[in-house]
Chains A and B, each alone.
Chain A
């Protein structure tokens, strides 16, 4: 697909905004977007979000024979891919300039800076070494891919654990994660890339350009630095002419930003470590928040109540045709089952049956739904004066749970409805929400 072209008015507007020191999302000129790091369930897997730009990193390892000219060093392999889902202009299988440039930058940043100790990856000199492979995938392109990719790469490498190996004479034993805890890689320092976008021949500069700003910029300067203020690599592209003063200023800004980002990374790694040690839940499923699609939707009840509809629907479709007529009254709002008017509160005793029998949810709901139906049929067909008689009539049926249908005083009609609501919601959240249900009473 072709990328959406940039219109003249957008270009003019962004340049004007830059001149007035305003950015599209309200940031200051030297502000980074929010960096969010989330880890997967496996070691060495992480997603880094820099604003809306998302990069997924995965580290894996393999035992291979070493390179002939370096028999005692492990092998590092880096690969960055631009997924077609990141932007409409990215096509699979086409090697664009951007891809080549980004790959080269990642290689220089991580390999040439010697941040990973390759000697420690050697198992048997000349025969077996570890090959560490880092795969980066761009999931969404909203500007500044290189920063997000470098953060994702170094975080994944720090997070990764390789299997433990022991060498006894000629024998090499590789332990599985169950036998011995996997071992982290030996990482000396963490190089992070920071990008600077230049406008108007270097007069204005922005840190962490977004996608629109990138389209309009004259050129970009990328500086990779670690928290010890050591510059690992530097690249200027776009053909802008920078003076020494500007480059020095940029490197000072980089030092500040890298310190902040490194702190963030350390905290994220520590948090993940803590959660794993305590046996808590970790992985993407926990860290990805629920996103609302539209704001104008009805506030629905807790997720568990949705099962009511599905299960009740199942039961209704399996039941006789007349039950279809009552499908509506039973499920007219999510989480609420209307038993009909004029019925006494019989839900109170249902709670006891809950405790007594550890029945499965389906059975109980089936019973409740069936009871709902039966109560409905009774309601609509018989007069309301025979309220007290209904439960006795129903007790002739097969279910044992009918014991719960003991008549209570009619004035509790309104309470019956609210209680039924609570009862239903709590019913479906059977195991988890028992405490809540008790509190409700």
Chain B
């Protein structure tokens, strides 16, 4: 394998990287030698987080997906900074800890089978709801929508989902209501919408009130007061993929003018 010499990771932040690129990490001066803690002067050395699209290799980080390289500098807690690759795709691969919207396809004894858009169907136990006991089962039918998170998700086993967090509370997860509409967008758009202070959501919320559930598997559930309003929101969110900020503002201005 002809390995090109690696490029320093900091210099590639914000640029397109391709699979096979090697990124060199800065070598810490305190690696060898005594680590004398000089009180407030010494900077704590946290662990560098290697995010999606990157893998650790001998020289540094090996890129496995094409996209833009991003970096979050160290700060706040023990995190020593994080690198990851922002890539665009529509096909979802289950990842542990992701919150997703699943469609119930079958009820098999004590377990529901959900379709989450991955290669295998996820399983969800009926006890994994808040306040569920053997006598008090949740009222779930085939075809219902469930918002939950992955407890187990690796490529060798079927993923498992739960609708409670580690402390036993639902924290927003569970069965999604009967009305509203479900549609699919690309994964990149979901991540954009989930970012804090997302412009799109703020601008939309000024149009009319609506409920929104975003699943990391590309599925969005929307509910507004009337069918017309719901359809408008659906179409705007689907179009956000290809619209620039100005076009979106124009479209929303036209709508709020009506």
Contacts and interface: CB of A to CB of B under 8 A. Distances in A.
A294 B241 CA distance: 6
Which of A2, A9, A26 has the most chain B CB atoms inside 10 A of its CB? A9
A7 B88 contact: no
Q: How large is the interface on A (under 10, 10 to 19, 20 to 34, 35 or more residues)?
A: 20 to 34
B143 interface: yes
A13 B179 contact: yes
B244 A295 contact: yes
Interface string B91-117: 000000000000101000000000101
Nearest to A18: B227
Contacts of B178: 8-9, 12
Contacts of B144: 7-9
B180 to A, nearest CB: 6
Contacts of B230: 13
Given A7-B103, A296-B244, A13 B143 contact: no
B154 interface: no
A20 B227 contact: yes
Interface in A7-23: 7-13, 16-17, 20, 22
A9 B234 contact: no
B122 to A, nearest CB: 13
A292 B182 CA distance: 25
A294 B227 contact: no
B253 interface: no
Contact of B182 (A9, A20, A294, A296): A9
Which of B143, B235, B247 has the most chain A CB atoms inside 10 A of its CB? B143
Contacts, number: 66
B242 A292 contact: yes
A25 interface: yes
Contacts of B105: 5
Interface in B136-160: 141, 143-145
Given A8-B141, A294-B241, A22 B227 contact: yes
Given A7-B182, A9-B182, A13-B181, A25 B143 contact: no
Interface string B226-255: 011011001100001111100100000000
B176 interface: yes
Nearest to A299: B244
A309 B192 CA distance: 30
B188 interface: yes
A24 interface: yes
Nearest to B106: A5
A9 B227 contact: no
17 contacts: A4-B115, A6-B143, A7-B145, A8-B144, A9-B176, A9-B177, A9-B221, A11-B143, A12-B178, A13-B179, A13-B181, A20-B228, A22-B231, A24-B231, A26-B231, A293-B88, A294-B188
Given A9-B179, A11-B143, 20 more contacts: A7-B144, A8-B143, A8-B144, A8-B178, A9-B145, A9-B180, A9-B221, A10-B181, A12-B178, A13-B181, A16-B227, A17-B227, A20-B227, A24-B231, A24-B234, A293-B88, A294-B88, A295-B240, A295-B241, A295-B243
